[in-house]
Amino acid sequence: MSSHFKPPIDLSDLPNYQQKESRPRRSVFVGRVSTKDNQNPASSIPRQVALASERLLPDEKFIAYFWDVESGMLPPELRGLGPQEMYDALNVSVPRDGGLQDLLDRAEMLGVTHVVAERSDRVARIMLASLIVEHDLEQLGVEVVYANEPIGGTASGQLRSRRGAQVDAELYRVALMEMSMGGQIQHAVQGWNHGYPPYPYIAVIDEDAPVRDKGRFGMDRPKKKLVPHPDERRFATARELCRLRREEHLKSRDIIELLAADPEQYPVEDRWTHNRVEGLIANPKLAGYQVYNRKASRTGRAGYSRLNPISEWVWSPTVVHEPVVSLEEWKTAQEVTAGLRADSEGHGPLLRIRAAARRLGLTITLVSSSGTHSLYRIGHQQIVLPIPTPATIVQQLVADLESAR
């Protein structure tokens, strides 16, 4: 910073009057477009370069160009993972030396002094992500410059302008997610399918769905509904698979063995697997409803999705396609699945008894326990169960409760 308060006499001839730059200025460009469908990289990236270049010194040029065709909602480590062939096919006139994560990895090796972008949301729409990028580069002595920020003034004013722009980007992201989520919810509520159709169904275009205006921006994706697969054996297979879990309490390995023994009756692409069987049993679409928000796909880990609790699922109000099982049968299968999983953890017998009692509107209360036996109250009755409780006793007790309906 140059001082406005000069010395009484001319001292400019002294060796240390001005500090010389310890390293030459080396600036790189960083940019981003949201997707190749919603923005045209061939025009957007050169435009961003032109605006960012206004912050270069006279006769200075960028030594490298780092840009992505990705959502600004992704963290840097998940950006720029598309193959180089995809970027080559975009025919962007600006060369590409990598994406944002490549810049962070190579900034020190390249001797970068300045990173220049059109504006802060070209780095990230999530404020925390852009702050982390700025902090990591600052630790390397790299200054981040946004071309839309004012030049001059106080450091506090410049910081206020930058943080305000980052807050605006974050608010835009949240508003965009709210609108997108609202649209996806209505999509499911009105009976249209999300994602790949389950095993016993295919997705077909709903000819009765409203058609949007031709000139509207963005990709036109026809609305689809589920109908039974042309191979009727699939419907019967899914129904039998659910029955084996619901009525016979079979684990996935036993179900796989039964299905694989008769491939003509129980057809499947490739082979039956644990994930395929468990995923089908757990899928509420088999009950005829459209269900959205079962999984949180954006978790910060590539290829990983987290299951949301059932309380957060969005259901269509009524049955919208032909069901494989009733909703009550689907629910029972989930209770059996929970019991089987608890069995493997040593808590299964009591959960199976609780599930049977719950179907009768009864609750189970622990009265006392001696370490070898426990006394429970089920409704107005009391029962004594050994610890651990053998499966035969559990089955008999569940049968007694069922017969009391």
Among the residue ranges 192-196, 205-209, 257-261, the one predicted with the least confidence is 205-209
Pairing of strands 201-205, 64-69: unpaired
Does residue 284 sit in the same domain as residue 371?
no
Query: Which of 84-88, 184-188, 230-234 is most confident?
Result: 230-234
- What share of residues in the chain are helix, strand, coil (percent, to 5)? 40, 15, 45
Note whether 242 and 276 are same-domain residues: yes
Domain for residue 32, yes or no? yes
- High-pLDDT (> 70) share of the chain, %: 90
pLDDT in tens, 133-146: 999 999 999 999 99
Regarding pTM above 0.75, the answer is no
Considering the domain architecture, whether residues 48 and 140 belong to the same structural domain is answered as yes
Task: Supply the pLDDT for residue 213.
Answer: 58
Query: What value does the mean pLDDT take over residues 288-313?
Result: 77
pLDDT at residue 268, rounded to an integer: 93
**Domain finish residue from 173, 199, 222:** 173
d(CA 155, CA 138): 16
**Band of residue 286 on the pLDDT scale cut at 50, 70, 90:** very high
Residue 126: pLDDT band by 50, 70, 90 thresholds? confident
| In-domain check, residue 40 | yes
Determine the Cα–Cα distance for residues 130 and 125; give it in Å rounded to an integer. Answer: 7
Residue 264 in this model has a pLDDT that exceeds 90 = yes
Looking at the structure, tell me whether residues 373 and 270 fall in a common domain: no
Residues 255 and 390 in one domain: no
Asked if pLDDT for residue 105 goes beyond 80, the answer is yes
CATH of residue 384's domain is 3.30.160
pLDDT tier, 369 (very low <50, low <70, confident <90, very high otherwise): confident
Report pLDDT for 303. 52
pLDDT for res 217: 47
Q: Are residues 145 and 36 in the same domain?
A: yes
Any domain includes 298:
no
Q: Can you give the residue range of the structural domain that contains 103?
A: 27-173
With respect to residue 341, please indicate whether it lies within any of the assigned structural domains. Answer: yes
In which band, very low, low, confident or very high, does the pLDDT at 2 lie, cut at 50, 70 and 90? low
Number of domains in the chain: 3
Is residue 405 scored above 50 in pLDDT? yes
Q: Note whether 64 and 163 are same-domain residues.
A: yes
Same-domain check for residues 165 and 84: yes
Question: Can you tell me the mean pLDDT for 55-70?
Answer: 93
Residues 123 and 150 in one domain: yes
Would residue 265 count as lying in a domain? yes
Question: Looking at 345, 363, 390, which one is the last position of a domain?
Answer: 345
Per-chain mean pLDDT for the chain: 85
In a domain, 217, yes or no: no
- On whether both 40 and 155 belong to a single domain, the answer is yes
Indicate which CATH number applies to the domain containing 60: 3.40.50.1390
Instruction: Report which of 175, 222, 190, 193 is spatially closest to residue 294, judged by C-alpha positions.
Output: 193
pLDDT computed for residue 299 by the predictor: 45
Q: Kindly state the average pLDDT of the residues 150-177.
A: 82
248 pLDDT above the threshold of 80? yes
- Does residue 31 lie in a domain region? yes
Residues 334 and 386 in one domain: no
Out of 173, 196, 211, pick the residue that ends a domain: 173
Query: For residues 215 and 316, which has the higher predicted lDDT (pLDDT)?
Result: 316
- Better-predicted residue by pLDDT, 384 or 212: 384
pLDDT tens sequence across 63-94: 999 999 888 777 777 777 778 888 888 889 99
Return the pLDDT at 215.
Answer: 52
Nearest Cα neighbor of 143 from 30, 4, 3, 20 is 30
For residue 180, tell me if it sits in a domain: no
Could you tell me if 133 and 248 lie in one domain? no
**Does the pLDDT value for residue 247 go beyond 90?**
no
Is residue 375 a contact partner of residue 389, using CB atoms and an 8 Å limit? Answer: no
Provide the percentage of residues in the chain whose pLDDT is more than 90: 40
Predicted pLDDT of residue 396: 84
**Interval 16-24 mean pLDDT:** 73
* SS3 annotation, 327-373: HHHHHHHHHHHHHHHHHHCCCHHHHHHHHHHHHCCCCEEEEEECCCE
Average pLDDT over residues 192-209: 88
